[in-house]
Structure 1
Amino acid sequence: HSPYYLEIAHPYEEVRRGALKEALKILEVSRKLESTSATFHPFTPGWLASIKEKARELNVVGFRELVKHGRELGVQILVENVDHGAFRSPPDIRYLLDHVDGLLMTLDVGHSVINGGLEKLKSYLKKCGKEIVHMHIHDNDMSSDLHLPIGAGRIPWPEVLGEISNYRGTVTLEVHSSDPDYLRISKEKILSILKPQEGARHQRYEQGD
């Protein structure tokens, strides 16, 4: 994951070029670490939402540059959905995927339910499902980006995990805590929800449903 504050689509060209220069360093490090992908947020501060079309154009330019250099280094570029600014909805992320050849997606499940709930998550899956190759999972109160341990917020995890049950890519538990026990607890909670769901699916399969 790159620093979320990289200004790869800043309206001032010199600022944008500087941010892209730093982003290329991140790709170099990713290659040295033998990471096959790198996730970037679209640049979308609140004030940029007032010039949404320009923001879209600049992000397309920035992500095309990242994808180009990523290909040279063998690192796949992923765009992550955010919960604010000019790229806070499924159609906004779809726009980037449609206009940047080779760009794929990290679905941040926590971000996807903020100010939209389960229906917003479903929309991401419907509009962007084929491009989703990584996921971030964390909890929140469904109105703020809190990155809580699983179970500490209000996200309905049985329903959410049911929606993404066909996903077979990689997942990061993006829990913001210095205590690793919260990662372990979050993993255990996710697995405890998945186990009965898997059992039910196997039973339906055996019954021919």
Structure 2
Amino acid sequence: MDIGLTVGDSLERAERTIEGFDLAELSIGEGSDPTEIDADRLETILAAVDADLCVHLPFKQDVVTPVPEINDAIVDYLARLLAWAGSVDAKKAVLHGTARNPHDTDLRPLFAEQLAAIGTAASDVGVELVVENVGHQKRGLPLSVLGDLARETGTAVCFDVGHAFMEDGDDGVERFLSGYGDLVSHLHIHDARSRGDTHLPLGAGEIDYSVVTDHLAGFDDSVAIEVFTDDVALLEDTAGRTRSILEADT
């Protein structure tokens, strides 16, 4: 199992915090040109600590709309970003599972088509696409819908435990992992509280992580700690707790 950090779009944050971790998950900002990222500096930062790279595609980019021309442009845009990700040897690319109207059932077949096309663009450049649950957000697909579409298209899942909790509590975490845990190849780990606080260090919130242990003990893929702090001690503590959760006996 590889445990790393989300570092936003900041090479400075990566350099300050990544030592001792296995990977950095770097965000590509909406509308930004990733070729302007200093690829040599990025490579140097990662090589110094022997860490791999994952990328997070733009947070606000919907996957599907009702307009075919816009959908084509979305695939083209994300394919361009993925080509850059492949050029810097990113292992995975995280995509938010969003739609212009996530409750419009007519869009779901189109979402599947879009997801498959984006997945092909990723695999063509040697990157694994992982679709992330964001059903607690206005444009996020509900957990079960996202799971069904990921299975239908053969797309791996980035399971964000905190997002699932914010959407439907510990029950939501349990149901998703019961039905779709085999699709998970990347995890976002943080704690959350039902009042709305999220991206907290583990132990500071309300999530029952024993549910994760029940379904993912022995997990042997990639994990990104998504705690919004540069306090390395807090990040390392959450990483240690994460390792205990996922390496626990089944």
Deviation at 1:22, TM superposition (A): 2.1
The alpha-carbon distance between structure 1 residues 129 and 189, as it changes in their structure 2 partners (threshold 3 A), is closer
**Counterpart Cα distance in 1 of 2:206 and 2:189:** 13
- Aligned runs of 1:1-209 on 2, under 5 Å? 1-45=56-100, 48-50=101-103, 52-84=104-136, 85=139, 87-90=141-144, 92-100=145-153, 102-142=154-194, 144=196, 146-191=198-243, 193-194=244-245, 198=248, 201=249
The one-letter amino acid of 1:13's match is P
- Distance (Å, rounded) in 1 between the aligned partners of 2:116 and 2:212: 32
- C-alpha distance 180-20 of structure 1, shift in aligned 2 (>3 A): farther
User: How far is 1:130 from its partner?
Assistant: 1.8
- TM-score by length of structure 2 reads 0.67
Q: Where do 5+ consecutive residues of structure 1 fail to align?
A: 203-209
In 2: Cα distance, 1:177 partner to 1:55 partner = 37
**Richer in strand (by share):** 2
Tell me whether 65-74 or 181-190 shows the greater mean CA deviation: 181-190
Task: In structure 2, give the amino acid aligned to 1:88.
Answer: P
Structure with bigger gyration radius:
1
Deviation string 1:24-69 (CA, Å, 9 cap, x unpaired) is 1221122122123211112235xx134x212312211211111221
TM-score of the two chains, using structure 1 as the length reference: 0.79
Unaligned runs of 5+ in 2: 1-55
Say whether the 8 Å CA contact 2:158–2:187 is kept in structure 1.
Answer: yes
- Residue 180 of structure 1 deviates from its aligned partner by 4.0
Q: Judging changes above 3 Å, is the alpha-carbon distance between structure 1 residues 173 and 71 closer, same or farther for their aligned structure 2 residues? A: same
RMSD of aligned residue pairs (Cα, Å): 2.6
- Paired residue type of 2:149: L
Which of the pair is proportionally richer in helix?
1
Distance 1:68 1:189 in 2: 35
Residues 181, 216 of structure 2: 8 Å contact kept: no
One-letter code of the match for 1:32? S
Q: Distance in 2 between matches of 1:145 and 1:181?
A: 20
The 2-side partners of 1:30 and 1:178 are apart by 25
Highest RCO, 1 vs 2 (Cα 8 Å, sep ≥ 6): 2
One-letter code aligned to 2:151: D
Residue 161 to residue 142, structure 1, CA distance change in 2 (3 Å):
farther
Shift of 1:94: 2.5
Shift of 1:97: 2.1
Q: 2:227, 2:235 within 8 Å by CA — same for their partners in 1?
A: yes
